[in-house]
Chains A and B, each alone.
Chain A
Amino acid sequence: MEQKDSQARKLLEASAWRVRLSETDAEEGEHPGFQEWIAADPRNADAWRQVTGPWRLFGDHATAPEVIVARREALARAEQAGRRRWREAARSGNHALQAIAATVVVVLGLAFLFAQIARPDVYNTGFGERRVVSLDDGSMLSLDAQSEVRVHYRSHVRELQLVRGQAKFDVAHDAERPFTVLAGGRKVIATGTSFNVDMLGAKLFVTLIEGRVVVLPSPERRPSDGQRIERIELMPGKQLALAEHESPAITDVNVGLAMAWQTGLIAFEDATLAEAVARLNRYSENKLIVDDETAGNIRISGVFKAGDMSGFVSTITTYFPVSAAPQSGGEIRITRRLN
């Protein structure tokens, strides 16, 4: 009778330790009290194995704040239930133990679902709009016009996704919680740093302002046949350009210029007119269309004000042999001037 009772108690103690360790993010061996508890009784190690087995199934979700809360409640209920059932357990074998374990597992399952349901925060901007968002951990998110970022923070990882447009990420340092940005089939991983991600048409640009980032293919694009995963590490002042069917290109950039969009200036260095137009279209409701290939391939350098589309049109039609024709839908079509 005494034996059954203590076995149930061991299980509950082990559960309590699991919660405590996951909350402090401590490794199993790091907590002195835990080591003492394990050493105190050989049955403690057994109880620990029983408790941590199912726990591992929850993997990434095991340390999410909402899971921790749910788990603590589950534990409190299990403890109450356990106390009531110990007396019965003494009579009916270890069914009560299984009941307690089952309760814990069921509630963990609910907590897992809860974590899955938790929606990311979505931030977006319209034409010509810029937005700066201060995130929970002190990181700053700066969105360019026509951009969308989803933020999904968990206790062990900060997951973001650039759905469209451009954003700059000033990441608060937290080595325990990597900061990842998914964009255009890539995953950018940082700890504490400042970087910019720009999705422009079929191209993806990652610019490192300070610190260090690593760029990997996003999980669903990683080779399944055991091929080496392409891993690109960037240094400050470098820009990585990625496009389908092109090998990655890393170039030096003037960081101030690359970030000038934050003050409403857009800089180009030997861009095609088509690229320049794609970028400037973010800031204007009156879109430019460059479907004439000879016009679209004209090379342009310079600095322009975001949002001053009519100014840009008058400048390029004066400087280049191109003309502009307003379309019925409000767009302006740029074509090579014939003469």
Chain B
Amino acid sequence: MRASLQALTSVVCSFLAAAVMAQAASFHFDIDTQSLSGALREYARISGQQIIFTEEVVAGIESAQLSGDFTALAALSHLLAGTDLVTEISPSGAVMIRAAPRIPAGDQTPVDRRKKK
């Protein structure tokens, strides 16, 4: 839980502002290790949390197994822990998943290190 809380602060910082996610209702998740793409959709189905991403953004990333009762926020931070993905909340409350813009000096191109291909 500590690790995921850390991930929470570093990866999904914008969540705290989101009214949708502030609700502490927890859901029972039972998501096997699979492509992050599939895991995110399954997560959304269970929690009812709207979500948007592209296959390009999550390509090649495997999700960790998620099993137990979690709030929507905790579950999402668990699934995204260790990835370079960032989340934002759309005006209507959907979670938007993007590759973190990594901007080393002199390089404006976003790079995602975890992509396998």
Contact = CB atoms under 8 A, between A and B. Distances in A.
Interface string B86-117: 00101111101010000000000000000000
Interface stretch (B3-11, B40-48, B61-69): B40-48
Contact of B53 (A257, A265, A302): A302
> How many residues of B sit at the interface, in one of the four size bands?
20 to 34
Contact of B54 (A260, A300, A311, A312): A300
B90 A269 contact: no
User: Chain A interface mostly helix, strand, loop or mixed?
Assistant: mixed
A318 B44 contact: no
> How many residues of A sit at the interface, in one of the four size bands?
20 to 34
B94 A302 contact: yes
A279 to B, nearest CB: 14
B39 to A, nearest CB: 10
A254 B45 CA distance: 11
Interface of A: 254, 256-257, 260, 265, 267, 269-270, 299-305, 308, 310-312, 314-316, 318-319
A312 B92 CA distance: 8
User: Chain B interface mostly helix, strand, loop or mixed?
Assistant: mixed
> Which has the most chain A C-beta neighbours within 10 Å: B48, B49, B98?
B48
B37 A301 contact: yes
A319 B90 contact: yes
Contacts of A303: 41, 44-45, 49-51
B44 A265 contact: yes
A316 B92 CA distance: 10
B22 interface: no
A311 B93 contact: yes
A257 B35 CA distance: 15
